[in-house]
Amino acid sequence: MSLPSTEIQRVVLVVLLGVVGYLLVYNWNQDYGPSASKPRVSPTSAAEDAVPAAPMPVAETGPEAADDIPREELSGSAEPPGFAGEDVDMATSSRIVSVRTPTLAVWIDRLGGDIVRLELPRYPRELGSEEAVRLLDRGPSRTYIAQSGLIGRDGLDKNSASRPLYEIANRDPNGYSLQEGVLELALRHETGDVIVEKRFLFDAESYVVSVEHSIDNRTATEFRARLFAQLKRDASRPESDGFGMGPRPYVGAAFTTPDSRYEKIDFDDLDEEPFRTDVRGGWAAMLQHYFLAAWAGDADEVNAYNGRRLGDGNYAVGYIAPELVVPAGERRTVAARLYAGPKIQKQLEEVAPNLYLTVDYGLLWWLSVPLFYVLDAINSVVGNWGVAIILLTVTVKILLFPLASAGFRSMARMKKLAPQMSRLKERYGSDRQKLSQEMMALYRKEGANPLGGCLPLLLQMPVFFALYWVLYESVELRQAPFIFWIKDLAALDPWFVLPILYGASFFAMQLMQPPPPDPMQAKVMKAMPIIFTVLFMFFPAGLVLYWLVNNVLSLAQQWFITRQIERKTQPA
């Protein structure tokens, strides 16, 4: 039996709203929900896992055997004081070397040459704060560092308990500073007649740090080693981790693989089994909201990428390069690149193929990406992301005008038919089948479509979701001001002005629509403005701004179309 009257339209609307709520909750739980906490205690020694052992050559043993690490390469005593178990004072320790550029503040431990702290001076931790976002850090309560070195037969990094202590010629105890151009920091270590230089190259305007290992082999035999580069991190979440009742951003590992341009491997997956894949070039990253750190391999080499849980409960993701052979009396250099900074798509595209996909827009990325580029283009002209959102909304409304106009015309016709619907209900209220037949006959006679009014909402849903992820994932909108009290479009409206205005516009739109004949549906529809006002109080101000402007434009469009239809039907 078909539904009578405008109940069809109302049922569809309620179903759509339910689908919206379900998809939001489902996607948040799938990709951004909190992972179950697990014990981080393991009987395995932390020294066994902190530095990966060199795998056997893939060409000789195959990809599975590459993970079969001989036990003798994992042996070692406790870690030396200050390396991992004990915090090193970044300001006073002679082992720490600091480098500051306009984009990065970096602290390097000469033991191993690891980056043990990294801050982003251009990104305040909080709005109005002078404290910068600290992306990498090593301390009593947090571990997140970028490691690299040489492993294998002649490598200097045998295990966690045996790593080289590099020296710096004419070291500046106050650290190094760069305002423009390029800075090279060279660390040097001698083992007999083998001299290894570990060079860090900084660009004043880049978030990429190039790390080179130059081996000068002055012996009578060839030198064999493999470059490894990895990110070592605990499973803790950043302090600023989403907003209000919204989703918790993804925190975990990601890779590009031969089968997937962008594959997320969360910590729970690494608890169950290690990850391994061989990729030409490639990258391995640790992701969090707005920021990431990623090692990118040489684009001309097939690198062995891996992710695993370590014996100390931390996690490591990175890669091992093919074996480097340095003939006797010669010099060779092998390099890796570390990107540590904001998820700026244009810059990520230049670092490595597919790295820009770490700006995760979800299933509607194909719509989110062009929306972001349109927003970015508008903002480059007007210089205000809030104004850009308004202009984008106007643009979307213009593009959807022909289809949305048909829906509004149908709604206007349905409202005009409301009195006749009520009379039919009074006449055939006890016979639902007859009532349905008479109403369908009335629809055909008047050219009305009870489902037509749902079209504008259907058209807005993909744009709503796509723009949500744009506002939520794009670091460009982080702490971006709009006007007056709205200092951050990616955060909640502190005074809830936009959600309240949105609720008022929702209520006004209901007044222009035909009332549902069913009393229960009428009560549900009256509650909708209140429900969505409360819901939008926990959404970013930029998204509420988009929806508010969209409602205002829809109101104007619906009022205009309704007036047109009324004029046409009025007697001359």
Is pLDDT of 519 > 90? no
pLDDT digits (tens, 9 = 90+) for 433-492: 777 777 777 777 666 666 555 666 676 678 878 888 888 889 999 999 999 899 999 888
List CB contacts of 412: < 8 A, sequence separation 6 or more.
Answer: 558, 561, 562, 565
3 state DSSP class of 36: coil
d(CA 49, CA 325): 25
Per-residue HEC secondary structure of 421-484 comes to HHHHHHHHCCCHHHHHHHHHHHHHHHCCCCCHHHHHHHHHHHHHHHHHHHHHHCHHHCCCCCCC
**pLDDT computed for residue 66 by the predictor:** 30
**What per-residue confidence (pLDDT) applies to 36?**
38
The predicted structure's pLDDT at residue 50? 54
Q: Are 485 and 494 in contact (CB under 8 A)?
A: yes
Q: pTM of the predicted model, to two decimals? A: 0.79
Residues 6+ apart with CB under 8 A from 553: 393, 394, 397
pLDDT reported for residue 43: 34
Residues 494, 431: Cα–Cα separation, whole Å: 53
Helix (H) or strand (E) holding 316: strand 315-320
Q: Is the pLDDT of residue 72 over 90?
A: no
Residues above pLDDT 70, as percent of the chain: 73
- What's the pLDDT score for residue 164? 92
* Rounded distance between C-alpha atoms, residue 516 and residue 337, angstroms: 62
CATH entry, 46-239+249-357, from 3.30.420.40, 3.30.930.10, 3.30.1360.70, 2.70.98.90: 2.70.98.90
3-class secondary-structure state, position 187: strand
Q: Can you tell me the distance from the alpha carbon of 344 to that of 105, in angstroms, rounded to the nearest whole number? A: 18
Q: How many CB atoms lie within 10 A of CB 162?
A: 15
| Residue 284: band (very low, low, confident or very high) from pLDDT cuts 50, 70, 90 | very high
pLDDT, tens only, 362-381? 888 889 999 999 999 999 99
Summarised one tens digit per residue, pLDDT across range 205-246 is 999 999 999 999 999 999 999 999 999 999 998 876 555 455
Nearest CA to 44 out of 291, 237, 310 is that of 310
Q: What is the pLDDT of residue 357?
A: 94
Mean pLDDT score of the chain: 80
What are the residue ranges of CATH 2.70.98.90 in the chain?
A: 46-239+249-357
Give pLDDT, residue 40.
36
| 308 pLDDT more than 80 | yes
Give residue 133's pLDDT band: very low, low, confident or very high (50, 70, 90): very high
Residue 170, pLDDT > 60, answer yes
Residues 253, 234 contacting (CB under 8 angstroms): no
Residue 512 confidence (pLDDT) above 90? no
